[in-house]
Structure 1
Amino acid sequence: MKVLAAMSGGVDSAVAAARAAEAGHDVTGIHLALSRNPQSYRSGARGCCTIEDSNDARRAADVIGIPFYVWDLSERFHEDVVEDFMDEYAAGRTPNPCLRCNEKIKFAAVLDRALGLGFDAVATGHYAQLRTCADGLIEMHRAVDHGKDQSYVLGVLDQGQLAHSYFPLGDSTKTAVRAEAAERGLLVADKPDSHDICFVADGDNAGWLKEKLGDRAPNHGGPIVDDSSGEELGRHEGTVGFTIGQRKGLRIGTPAPDGKPRFVLDIEPVSGTVTVGPRERLAVDGLTGIRPRWCGTVPDRLAGPGVTVQLRAHGDEHRAVVERRGDEVTVHLLDPAYGIAPGQAAVIYDGTRVVGSATISATVRAAVGATA
């Protein structure tokens, strides 16, 4: 099989490329140049998007003994991921740029180009497993290492994309992958994982958004109000500095009557109003999802002990009943979830199998007093 290995410069993608080559595939390594100005992206050994990451990927390809190229997808990345990130926050939603990057860049732009060049599959260092059923349907399942499982951010892939995807690390633990990298002589064996958003250099999402949005920001300040009384508790400089469920950085001088911390419950970008209240008011037991993407057969209804929904990367699984209504998905959570915001992805599972995903457009608050 002719395989294009996407190499970020981190340990996972390096070992994935090495395993693909060792399995006898004809492997070519590529590094994606995603920044218009690489110096403005995060620096340090973090495994994504910097010049040093490109150099690390090239050195790994040399050790493995495969050809290596750099593909410039900076314009596509800016349009489909960075602009989407800004637009979503400006509208008061909380997006996941890594999920969008997988959907629009790694398994769309890269895969399309790879197929056009005669490659059979794109290999990445994601922790997920693919299984081919007797009828030819390809299922995606959680990785063996549940602590590193990345099926959540791959829940946007459809059957056509899965048919040309290759995840060599799905049956391994991260500890084993690092040990294997060291044995193979890959210098990235001990390189730290990347956790922050790659295009936010200092990790300050709110500060970056305020600077980049400028006049596009929906407001330049507004009130912070109490959910129960409607009392104005303070002022803020822009709603892009807040997310649903946020506790820190509210700068509210007046303590709550019960002395407990307050959390962001709602963000209204047009009026600039940020509503805060107690943690129990964050509980939701229902949500609506739009723009669904299905990994295989499109279901009408899913229910049963194995049906769960994951609402954030590495978040908990919530037992659920899922129904498809045209281009929308409704989810009833059997166990309330906390701090769920429009814009996040709801990824649907049946056991370990990924069924599909949808973008949360609205949530339904659980009755006060409900427990998780």
Structure 2
Amino acid sequence: MCCTGQWRRVRCSSKKPHAVPRVEGDPELVKKAIALLKQAQRPIVLTGTGVFWSGAMQELKEFVELSGIPFYTTPQGRGVIPEDHPLSFLGARNQAWKEADVVLIVGTRLNFIIGFGLPPRFAEEVKIVQVDISDEEIGRNRPVDIGIVGDAKMVLRQLINEGRAAFRGRKELPWVETLRGYDKRSQEKSTALLNSDAMPIHPLRLCKEVRDFMNRDAIIVVDGHEILNFARQSVPTHVPGHRVNAGPNGCMGVAVPFGLGAKVAKPNTQVIVLSGDGSFGMNGMEIDTLVRHNIPAIIVISNNGGWAGVGGMQAGRDLGFGRYDKMAEVFGAYAEYVERPQDIRPALERAAASGKPAVINVITDPHARSSTVSFANYRAI
């Protein structure tokens, strides 16, 4: 079934009238890529949404496990391999990127999301192998050492076939243990905040409660500034396509509409929207649409009373601790106002049990600041 412009359901054919060609990479360049990756001491694999759109999740996992190379993804590309995989070290992301000597980049642009592949995000002498379906993206913003034009699924399969002999019997690289240590120390450093009983609530404690409540296959939609960055550090994704944010557009206000769309697309999947209060204010009125059409997404607001944390911006920062829960109640949604950390999980449970669209308005610490790339480091493509 599909819909016309007038929202009248009509029967449509799911058959495509054409085949979509898949492009393999240059075999000689594939051989060179494997040779470079084999001799690397500190390699990583970095992937984007191109892996998802190509349906190359299994090939990526197979290549990572064959080669023993740790992997990272762009924010929207998360979940292509479950993030509790033994070669996933989320807490070591910054160190891994800075210290890598060879990076295999598959299906993502060399844009600001990954620091353009340039210092200080990556080492000056790093070697880069880039795989992309578009030849125009190869080497954009920085030169690459090997550029392979091709479909992610096809090229990863070529890399697997070429790499079987090269990586056969390979022992774990010392680099993996190094990243494991970085990751462990990062987790230990954040443990106190993840379990903090302080009031106002630290955003990492909110993230922990959401993480522990989420189904493994939940769709998580994240929007804002502080909460977006805190969630990146603490809330994993295990299913392809189940991590949604504004991506390289970088715009705010997308969480509620994106959550609405996700729940319509996958009505039997848990959908959680985790939004800052400022970003919620941009399109929060879509709670009306959620209620009218009975779309039971759960919206969790990290309400720190302003745009970013205190000190993040000066003019116009303060918004006040708005009662967005009261607004949601007026439209008929389930809503709660939460000030104590121990009340977050029960509120989430009650929201889910209500069977309604829900807004959980959580008061968080306005002085909690996340770390991210300074906008001064961004530049035009």
Q: TM (normalized to structure 1)?
A: 0.26
Q: TM (normalized to structure 2)?
A: 0.25
User: More strand per residue: 1 or 2?
Assistant: 1
User: More helix per residue: 1 or 2?
Assistant: 2
